[in-house]
Amino acid sequence: MLATLLLICGCGASLVFVSDRDGRDQIYSMAGNGFNQRNLSNNSSYEHFPDISPDATKIVFSSFRNPPGENIYIMDLDGQNVQQVTTGIGQRTRPRWAPNGLIAFAHPSYTPGARIWAIQSDGSGLAAVTSPGPNESDDSGHDFYDAGRMLVFSRFDSTTQKRDLYATKSDGTGAPQRITNTPDISEVLPVVSHDGRLLAYRAFYHGTGRDAIRIVSTGNWVLVREITLQPPADINISGISFRGDDGGLYVSVQATDVPGTNVGIRQEIFSIAIDGQNQQRLTTNETGDTWPVAIAATRQGEVLPVLFVHGHTGGKDAAWENPGSAGTTSVKAALEANPSLPIRPVYLSLPLHGSSLPENFGRSIADDATDILAAIEGGNDSNNQPQTGILNDPAYGGAAKVALVGYSQGAISSRYYLKNLMGSRLTGRITVSEFVALAAPTHGVGGSFSCGNENEPDRSTRQLCGGMTATLSSQALPCGSCFPPLVPFTTNGAGDAAFLNDLNGHDYRLNCNESTIPSPALEAPRSRPGVPDGVLYVNLYASGNEDPVVGGQTQSLDCLGRRLARNHAPNAGNMEITGTPINVHGNFPHHWPTICVALKTIVNHQAPADQTTACQGLTPSP
């Protein structure tokens, strides 16, 4: 027989758990090192599934205190002031307490068709959250994320004999989204970190009987790591909780050194670091110790929605989801490598341009901006298709603003939205917190390489070229020649030639002599710090004149007075990014320092000091 752990420390409690060491399941607390184990519920009934209130002052749990059913109760951390929340027959189990005060539980548990319900802590507002099908049950675990507005849960399919994870709105509206479907693996016991950024769950391998803990990002459900517990921890994981600081996990699991075949009494509690190292045993006895939960205030903050807008000829996959040339990466890969960043990306897909797409020749930059408007604020897009809008969608946690990242032409369509459309569907609100422009042709592109000949059919190209293309003589002029002889496009439509002037609030060619530019703030309207709750404008471009499309600090190549990446606005930050690989314009959004600066600007709500500082603390993406 194993000796009972000697309790000699007066350490404060760090977690609660369930133990049957007193002959029935009761709720206990103990310190994070396993000391000071104490019976809190101390009741003649069976008590199960504790969870901690958002302010870390109370415990919610299920109990048979008032037969015939198992119902939901609340008590203080010391076991006093017990209050019954639900009544009725059947078993109501696995209560989880959300940051917004909702409590979710499964009922009728352990029966076909079990579903998840939500209720306020005072017993009001009972409502069904999930609606399983005839061969499904939703009682294998669940937890809240997005500050309580969303729920992740495990669903059992009796036809396949498999369990998978789903996500759904906690108010029960909308269809659930399936987030796992791994062959031969069942996913159960999902639990969200206190900061809301990570999800841990049990992954049971049907073929081998192996158990593991998988950790994924709640922003995109991408796997961060898989943890295999070390002996004496074995299989049959029965409970998982993030530690109070989210730096580790508490796990209840069968231990190999506890004698007998009874899985229940062989359950012990361990702690393990989030990277799978430093496994420690917290209980040692021949009774079941299960369902550990950290005593910690819930800190789930708002996940930051970020709208990414691609450029002229490459779509969202080319700009954001795939790497560029060898040695580069992508925004998507960077977010997957750094799941702690509170960013939820939204990759906008716009119609593309090019000679092989004549159906889009008539599309203007204002059309793209209308799609940005619909994506952020809702309403019809440029094709008159209704969109919900990020700021109207509960899936984004009730965010008041989005961050906006635009690349190349996408930066110009984003600027058009910021200047002309922002708030037009939301009562004039400032809807953008940060705008990061990557390789933006703020003052247009120039030269026959970029602008083509005088018969250019594509309207957005004509707009970015200021309605004129280069000539051999204009391309031979030295930099500083602000008004060289140019050739207007024969295909110009209304507003094409004036587009850049209207967008910037001044003649775009005046960038040859910045002192003469009137009202340069018009290039970044409603920007902070001039407007305290306004938009932070950060403009990133390749160092020197390495970018042949948008230039750099000074005029480049044909020097038409329009190829200049720098923003004149006094409240806009301009930052040169060095080291971009060859094909500078195409590789700019795939360059690791570019991505670092963009992500850190959004997360910290201010631009970093430099690209080296921005990349500190971030895991380089493959």
Q: Where are the beta strands (DSSP E) in 402-556?
A: 402-407, 432-438, 468-469, 487-488, 536-542
| pLDDT value for 7 | 32
CA distances from 621 to 102, 307, 334, 601 (A): 37, 20, 5, 18
- Please say if the pLDDT value at position 439 is more than 90: yes
Write the DSSP string, 314-375: --HIIIIIS--STT---HHHHHHH-TTS-EEEEEE-----STT-GGGTT--HHHHHHHHHHH
- Give the tens place of pLDDT for each residue, 310-339: 999 999 999 999 999 999 999 999 998 887
- Note whether 15-294 and 304-615 share their fold: no
**342: pLDDT confidence band, cut at 50, 70 and 90?**
confident
- Please say if the pLDDT value at position 269 is more than 60: yes
| pLDDT value for 256 | 96
- Please say if the pLDDT value at position 298 is more than 50: yes
Mean pLDDT for the chain overall: 91
Q: What is the pTM of this model?
A: 0.63
Let me know if domain 15-294 sits in CATH 2.120.10.30: yes
1-15, 209-223, 486-500, 533-547 — which is least confidently predicted?
Answer: 1-15
CA distances from 165 to 201, 302, 356 (A): 9, 22, 42
The CATH T-level fold of domain 304-615 is Rossmann fold (3.40.50)
| pLDDT value for 621 | 84
- Please say if the pLDDT value at position 497 is more than 50: yes
- Please say if the pLDDT value at position 5 is more than 50: no
- Give the tens place of pLDDT for each residue, 235-253: 999 999 999 989 999 999 9
| pLDDT value for 450 | 77
Average pLDDT over residues 284-300: 93
CB atoms within 10 A of CB 6: 8
State the Cα angle at 265 between 262 and 267, rounded to 5°: 110
The C-alpha R_g of the chain, in whole angstroms, comes to 29
Average pLDDT over residues 130-136: 95
Average pLDDT over residues 31-59: 95
- Give the tens place of pLDDT for each residue, 502-561: 999 988 776 665 667 888 899 999 999 889 889 999 999 999 889 988 888 876 655 455
**1: pLDDT confidence band, cut at 50, 70 and 90?**
very low
- Please say if the pLDDT value at position 260 is more than 60: yes
As a whole number of angstroms, the distance between CA 556 and CA 547 comes to: 9
- Please say if the pLDDT value at position 6 is more than 50: no
Judge contact between 413 and 369, C-beta under 8 A. Answer: yes
State the Cα angle at 347 between 566 and 505, rounded to 5°: 30
- Helix ranges, 394-526 (H): 409-416, 447-451, 459-464, 472-476, 499-504
Q: What are the residue boundaries of the structural domains of the chain, listed by start?
A: 15-294, 304-615
Instruction: Give the chain's largest Cα–Cα span.
Output: 96
Structure tokens at 573: 């930050």
